[in-house]
Amino acid sequence: MKSVFVTVGTTCFEELIAVVSAPETIQILQSLGYSRLVLQVGGGAAPTPLRTPAFTLEVFRFRESLAEEFQRADLVISHAGAGTCLETLEKGKPLLVVINEKLMNNHQLELARQLYKDEHLFYCTCSTLLESLKSIDLSTLKPFPPGQPEKFAAFLDSITGFE
Amino acid sequence: WVPPLLSLLSPVLLVLLPIVLITALLLLVRRNSISRTGPLSLLVVAGSGGHTTEMLRLLGSLSLSYSPRHYIFADSDKMSEDKIRSFEQNRAETFSNFQFTLNRIPRCREVQQSWSSSILTTLYSVLYSFPLTFRLKPDLILCNGPGTCVPICISALLLDILALRKVIIVYVESICRVETLSLAGKILYYFSDYFIVQWPALKEKYPKSVYLGRIV
């Protein structure tokens, strides 16, 4: 059962939740082979859950850890929050970032834009979400190599004399 | 005979000259780094949210030589406190010898707080930071923003000057910053001993910075 996980983090991104839970979107997701949609909606309005033999829509506001949902997802759709972007990519999950146009000057966009340039994720706005879902090819994304904190440790050792 | 302009300036020079000389001397002392054997007292300024997450990733790679670890975080930041506690508990399971303290300070600026009232709260947190930094007497300060770390670093610089104690300040700019520095970064670029960035574009713009690749 292929599933999509949508997360807005600690913010509130009602426009995204509204677009992604619209019948039109669910239809497209079904045509792409997904049968489960999980929404983490934060503080915004929460759509009614749905359970039919062909499709499940689950909704929750916040959870201590989203690790399990990331793990189960075949596609993650998220706000541009840096934490969420990094967590998704580290878990090796395909990511479609939806930019909140109301927060265009937010510095968080810098990272999402760079990761898009480096072909680690896809990038769209609420108004282009449907088009993106139809056109993107998840297999073209490049894997995201893990960060190297050991280089930082070696650097600190060298400046403090622990070498 | 002294030119009038110079005589006017001389009181200023009299005050400035010793400061410049002492700073230069301190910088010289600082640069002669020694090989170290004993443990090193680490002061970590945990920013909040993503900043704390990044910081703990960095700390996870450090050896036991960095002990004790003193954490400073804003008193309104319960989430960082929980993250730090669970991080240290995990470490305690792996390593028997662990020491850490948790220290709260008033927050400089809450999100969406007006700039005029942030000046007052920042002043308050500067006053609060001084005795704390002096009491903890760190060898190394590690910070990655946001604002909370600025007063701590300033008090550490003073500790440096007043107590002739060498405090190394290391600032790590967040992975989120690809092309522009954060406000804390812009300030601490000038006050830190080592300024680490995680994207090449920043290294180009800020030549004094250190680029080690992505470290979180």
B71-86 tens-digit pLDDT: 998 888 888 899 999 9
Length of chain A: 163
Interchain proximity B40–A114, CB inside 8 Å: no
The alpha carbon of residue B58 and the mean position of all alpha carbons in its chain are separated, in whole angstroms, by: 15
Q: For an interface test with A, which of B41, B53, B57, B176 has the most A Cβ atoms less than 10 Å from its Cβ?
A: B176
Contact with chain B for residue A143, Cβ under 8 A: no
Chain A residue with Cα closest to B60: A149
Interchain proximity A149–B194, CB inside 8 Å: no
Q: How many CB pairs under 8 A join A and B?
A: 88
| Of B167, B212, B216, B161, nearest in space to B193 by CA | B167
Q: Can you tell me the mean pLDDT for B76-105?
A: 86
User: What's residue B129's pLDDT?
Assistant: 86
- Quote the strand ranges of chain A, DSSP E: 2-7, 34-40, 50-51, 56-60, 75-78, 95-99, 122-125
Shortest distance between the Cα of A107 and any Cα of chain B, in A, equals 7
Shortest distance between the Cα of B5 and any Cα of chain A, in A, equals 45
Least confidently predicted of A30-39, A89-98, B23-32, B72-81: B23-32
Interchain proximity B212–A162, CB inside 8 Å: no
**Euclidean distance between CA atoms B196 and B208, whole angstroms:** 9
Interchain proximity B63–A162, CB inside 8 Å: yes
Interchain proximity A159–B194, CB inside 8 Å: yes
Q: Which helix (H) or strand (E) holds B59?
A: helix B49-60
Domain ranges of chain A: 2-160
More confident residue, A42 or B160: A42
Q: Can you tell me the mean pLDDT for B27-53?
A: 75
A3-59 tens-digit pLDDT: 999 999 877 899 999 999 999 999 999 999 999 999 999 988 899 999 999 999 999
> Is pLDDT of B143 > 90?
yes
| Average pLDDT of every residue of chain B | 83
**Euclidean distance between CA atoms B200 and B115, whole angstroms:** 32
User: What's residue A89's pLDDT?
Assistant: 94
- By CB neighbour count within 10 A (0-12 exposed, 13-18 middle, 19+ buried), where does B91 fall? middle
Q: Predicted confidence band at B95 (pLDDT cuts at 50, 70, 90)? A: confident
As for the ipTM of the complex, it is 0.79
Q: Can you tell me the mean pLDDT for B31-53?
A: 78
Chain A residue with Cα closest to B168: A160
User: Domain A2-160, CATH 3.30.420.60 — does that match?
Assistant: no
Contact with chain B for residue A156, Cβ under 8 A: yes
| Of A60, A49, A109, nearest in space to A85 by CA | A109
Contact with chain B for residue A161, Cβ under 8 A: yes
Give me A149's structure tokens. 């904190």
- List CB contacts of A111: < 8 A, sequence separation 6 or more: A80, A82, A85, B175, B176, B177, B178
Length of chain B: 216
B40-211, CATH topology level? Rossmann fold (3.40.50)
More confident residue, B4 or A151: A151
Interchain proximity A147–B214, CB inside 8 Å: yes
- By CB neighbour count within 10 A (0-12 exposed, 13-18 middle, 19+ buried), where does A73 fall? buried
> Is pLDDT of A161 > 80?
yes
User: What's residue B6's pLDDT?
Assistant: 61
Least confidently predicted of A2-16, B5-19, B157-171, B180-194: B5-19
| Of B216, B163, B187, nearest in space to B108 by CA | B187
> Is pLDDT of A67 > 80?
yes
Q: Predicted confidence band at B33 (pLDDT cuts at 50, 70, 90)? A: very low
- List CB contacts of B36: < 8 A, sequence separation 6 or more: A160, A161, A162, B65
C-alpha separations of A162 from B34, B37, B60, B127 in Å: 9, 7, 17, 33
Going B196 to B200 to B201 to B204, the CA torsion angle's sign is positive
Q: Please, which residues 16-75 of chain A have a Cβ atom closer than 8 Å to chain B?
A: none
**Euclidean distance between CA atoms B131 and B123, whole angstroms:** 14
